[in-house]
Structure 1
C-alpha cells in the first residue's frame, strides 16, 4: 500500500478524482482553485527553456554534424505536415459524417449569450484579428537571447540551442569537452529541480480539475454532447488506428509506449496543458531509446508544428459551426478550410485556450462562418482542451520515435530496459552514482 501511495500515477489519478468531486459539490470553491493549477504550470514552464537548451546543446554538440541536424529537422517538419494534414482531413470527414451541428439554432444561441460569454468571445475575436502568420514565423528569431529565455519562447530557445550546439561541435576538442561536461552537470541539476517540482503534480492536477468542473460544470456538456462525443471518438480513432499503424510499421508497440508515458498523460489530463509534460517527455523519449539530439529537436518543435489533437478539434469545430449556422460548405470551400488550417494550426501553442484563438482566426480568414459563433463553444472548450492536449503529447512522442528509428538513432537496449521498468530518470542518475 505504501508503494502504491508513493506512485506518481496513483497520486495524480487520485488528485483528478478529488478535483472532480470538489468541483461538482462546491463549484464556487472549485473555481477559486485556479491559481493552484496555474502556479504548477508556471513552475513547469520555468524549466522548459533551460531543459530544451541543455538537451539540444548536449545532443548536437556530441553529434557535431550540421548536415545530420538539418536532415533530422527536415524529416521532422515533413512528418509533422503529413500527419497534421491527415488529422485535419479525418476531422472534417468525421464532422461531415456525424453532423454534430445539425439541429442547433446558432443565431438564437449567440443572441441569448450572457454578457460574460459575449465579452470572452469578443476577446478571442480581437486576439484572432491581431494574429499575423508572417510575424509568427519571423518571430522564431529572437531580438535577444536573454529575451528568448525570459519569455520562455520554445521555438526561439530551440533556434539558439541548435546554433550554439553546432558551434560547440565545431570548436577544438580541448575547449568543447570541458564545456560539454559543465552542461551535462547543469542538465542533471535542472532535471533534479524538475523532480522537486513534480512532487507538486498531484496538487496542480487537483487545482486544475477542480477549477474546470467548478467553473464550467458537467451540466454544460449536455447541449453540445454530440460535438464532444465526435471530437473524443475521432481523436481516439486517430491515436489507436493512425498512430498505431505508423508505430507498428516501425516495429513499435503503441500500448507499451502509452503505458510508459501514462504519468504525463494523466498530468496533461489534470492541467489541460500539454506544456506541463514537455520537460519530462524529452527525458522519457531519451529513456525509451531515442537519442538525445533527436528527442531534444523533435519534441520542442512538435509543440508548435505537430499538434494532431488541435488539428482534429479545429476541423471538427469549423464544420460544426457551419452546420449550426445552416451554412452549406461545398467540397471546394472545405478544401480551402483545410488549406487555411494547415497554416493557422501551426500557430497554436501547447497551452490551454490557444486552440480557441486559432479557431477564431480561422473563421475570420474564411469569412464564411460568423466569428461570434465561437461563443457556442465556450462552455465545452475547456473539456475538449484536455483531449487536444493529450493527443498532442502522444503524437509528439510518436513523431520522436519515428524520426529516431528512421535516422538509426534508436537504442534498442535502452528501449528494452524501459519496457522492463528498469530505466532511470535523469534526475535520479546522480543519486544512483552517489
Structure 2
C-alpha cells in the first residue's frame, strides 16, 4: 500500500517538475530565481526519497531524468562536464549490440532449422514496416500542414553556418555525385545504401555497429548453419545460444549504470540548450509531439487493440527501453533491453532477434514522421510552396534515405540536410533546428522503440507463436508485491 502511495507521489512530483521547468524556461509567473531553485531541489529530494523506497530501475531512471533537468538548468557548466558519463554508458551498451544480434539471429535460425519460417517472418515484417512507416509519414505531413509551424519564420536572422555533410558517403561517392544531376542524387544514394547493406568484413561491421550488415551476415550464417548436418551443427548452435544468454546477463549488469548515464545525458542536453531557441521553435517541437501522439493513438494503439494485445502489460514491458531511448536519443542503447523485454512478454526469441534488428533499419516510425514534418517546416520557413505531390516525393525519399540511422543519435538531421539540398530547399534553415533537435530526437527515438517492440508482437501473432499467458505471468509478481 505504501509503495502504491509513493507511486502516486512520483506522478504528482514529476508533473510538478515539468511545470517548474516550463515556468523557468518561459518566465510565466516572474517568480524569484532563488525561490524557483529551492522549489526545484525540494522536488528533487522528494523524487530521490521515493526512488530509494521503491528500489526500481525504471523509477531511478525517471528520477535521474528529472534531476538531470534541474542540474542542467541550475548548473549548466557542470552539466556540460557530465557528458563523458552519458557517452560511457552508450559505449558500454554498444559493446552488446554486435554479439547479441549475431548470437540471437544465428541461434534463432539454425536452432529451429526451419528456413521457411524465416522467409515468412521476412515478408510479413517488411509488409508491416512499410504500412507503419507510410502512416507515420502521412501523419507528419498532415500535422505540419495544419500547424504551419514554419510560416512566419524570419529567415534573414537565421545563422548561415556550414552544416555537416551527408554521413555514410565516402569521398569517392561524393566525387561521383558531383558529376551527376541533382535528380540523380537520390538514385545514387539509394544504390549506395543497397551496396552498404552487405558486409565486406563482419569484424569491421561489428566494430562500426552497422546493424543491417550484422543482420545480413547473421541471417546468411544461420541459414548456412541450418544446412549443416546435425552432428556438426549442434556445437555452434549451443555456442550461440550460450552467447546470447551471457549477453542478456551482461545487459542487466550494464543497465545498473543506466540511471547515472541517463541523468548525465539529460543534464548535458538541458545545459547545452538555450531558452531563446526553445521559444522560437516551440511550434515545431509541439507539432512533432502532437504528430507522434497521433501516430501512437491512431495507428499503433488500434493495431494493438485489433490483435488483442494486453496494452497495460505491453506498456509495462516497454517502459524501461523507452525511457533509456528517450534520454540517450539512441535506439541502439535500448536495443538489448527491448529484445529482452519482448521475449519475456511472450514473443519467441527467433522472432525477436529477427524483427527488432531489422526494424531498426526499416521500421523507423518516429524518424520517418519527424523527417517528413521537418522537411516541410524548412520549406515553410523559406517561403517555398510545395504541392501535395512534391511533399509526398520528399517524404518517401526521406523514408528511403533514413534507413539504418536509428543507432546514431541525431543522424536523421544529416539525412534531412542531404535531402533538403537535393530538392532545392535552403539547408541553412535547418541550422535553426539544431538547438532543439535533441528534444525532438528523444521523442522520435522513443516511438521508434515502441513501434519495433509492437512489430515483434504483430509478427508473433501472425505466426501463431505468441505466448498469450506470458504478459500476465510477468505482471503477477508485481501485484503480489504491492
Normalising by structure 1, report the TM-score: 0.90
Q: Distance in 2 between matches of 1:186 and 1:126?
A: 32
The alpha-carbon deviation at position 167 of structure 1 amounts to 2.3
Asked if 1:86 corresponds to 2:129, the answer is no
Among 411, 420, 434, the residue aligned to 2:467: 411
With over 3 angstroms needed to count, the CA separation of the structure-2 counterparts of 1:334 and 1:73, relative to structure 1, is: same
User: Which residues of structure 2 form unaligned runs of 5+?
Assistant: 1-49, 175-187
With over 3 angstroms needed to count, the CA separation of the structure-2 counterparts of 1:125 and 1:134, relative to structure 1, is: closer
Among 263, 277, 281, the residue aligned to 1:224: 281
Count of equivalent residues: 413
The alpha-carbon deviation at position 3 of structure 1 amounts to 7.1
Contact 1:49/1:157 (8 A) holds in 2:
yes
Secondary structure of 1:63's counterpart equals: coil
**Where does residue 313 of structure 1 map in the other structure?**
370
Q: CA RMSD in A?
A: 2.0
Asked if 1:398 corresponds to 2:446, the answer is no
**Where does residue 372 of structure 1 map in the other structure?**
428
CA displacement 1:128-168 (0-9 Å, x = unmatched): 89593311221121112222222221111111111222222
Q: Distance in 1 between matches of 2:165 and 2:54?
A: 42
Q: Distance in 1 between matches of 2:333 and 2:450?
A: 13
**Where does residue 31 of structure 2 map in the other structure?**
none
Q: Distance in 2 between matches of 1:89 and 1:173?
A: 49
Where do 1:27-426 residues align within 5 Å? 27-106=76-155, 108-110=156-158, 113=159, 118-119=161-162, 122-124=163-165, 130=174, 132-367=189-424, 369-421=425-477
Contact 2:51/2:60 (8 A) holds in 1:
no
Contact 2:212/2:404 (8 A) holds in 1:
no
Among 54, 58, 64, the residue aligned to 1:9: 58
User: Which residues of structure 1 form unaligned runs of 5+?
Assistant: 423-434
Higher relative contact order (CA 8 A, sep 6+): 1
The alpha-carbon deviation at position 124 of structure 1 amounts to 4.2
**Where does residue 432 of structure 1 map in the other structure?**
none
Q: Distance in 2 between matches of 1:381 and 1:10?
A: 26
Superposition misfits of 4+ residues, deviation over 3 angstroms: 1-5, 124-131
Contact 2:394/2:423 (8 A) holds in 1:
yes
**Where does residue 184 of structure 2 map in the other structure?**
none
CA displacement 1:228-253 (0-9 Å, x = unmatched): 11100110111122100011111113
The alpha-carbon deviation at position 90 of structure 1 amounts to 0.9
Q: Distance in 2 between matches of 1:36 and 1:376?
A: 27
Q: Distance in 1 between matches of 2:149 and 2:62?
A: 31
Contact 1:208/1:272 (8 A) holds in 2:
no
Q: Distance in 2 between matches of 1:133 and 1:125?
A: 13
Secondary structure of 2:401's counterpart equals: helix
Secondary structure of 1:334's counterpart equals: helix
Normalising by structure 2, report the TM-score: 0.82
The alpha-carbon deviation at position 99 of structure 1 amounts to 0.7
The alpha-carbon deviation at position 181 of structure 1 amounts to 2.4
